[in-house]
Amino acid sequence: MRICEFQDRGLTPYPAAADLQQQLAERRKRGEIPDQFLIVEHPHVLTMGRNGHTENVLAAPEVLARLGVELHHINRGGDVTYHGPGQIVGYPILDLRDWKRDVVEYLRTLEQVIIDAMAEVGVTGERNPGKTGVWVFAQGQWRKVAALGVHLSRWVTTHGFALNLDTDLSYFRYIVPCGLTEPVTSLRELGVEAGRAEVVAALAHHFARAFGFQLRVLEEIHS
**Considering the entire predicted model, what is its pTM?**
0.94
The 10s digit of each residue's pLDDT in 111-132 is 999 999 999 999 999 999 889 9
Q: Which residues contact 46 (CB under 8 A, 6 or more apart)?
A: 57, 64, 69, 70, 71, 72, 80, 81, 82, 83, 174, 175
The residue ranges of DSSP E strands in 66-194, in sequence order, are 70-73, 80-83, 87-93, 126-128, 131-138, 141-153, 156-164
The confidence score (pLDDT) of residue 222 equals 47
How far are the Cα atoms of 99, 158, 159, 179 from residue 71, in angstroms, in the given order?
33, 19, 16, 16
Is 4 a catalytic site residue?
no
- Among the listed residues 33, 38, 178, 194, the single catalytic one is 178
pLDDT tens digits for range 201-215? 999 999 999 999 999
Per-residue confidence (pLDDT) for residue 223, from 0 to 100: 41
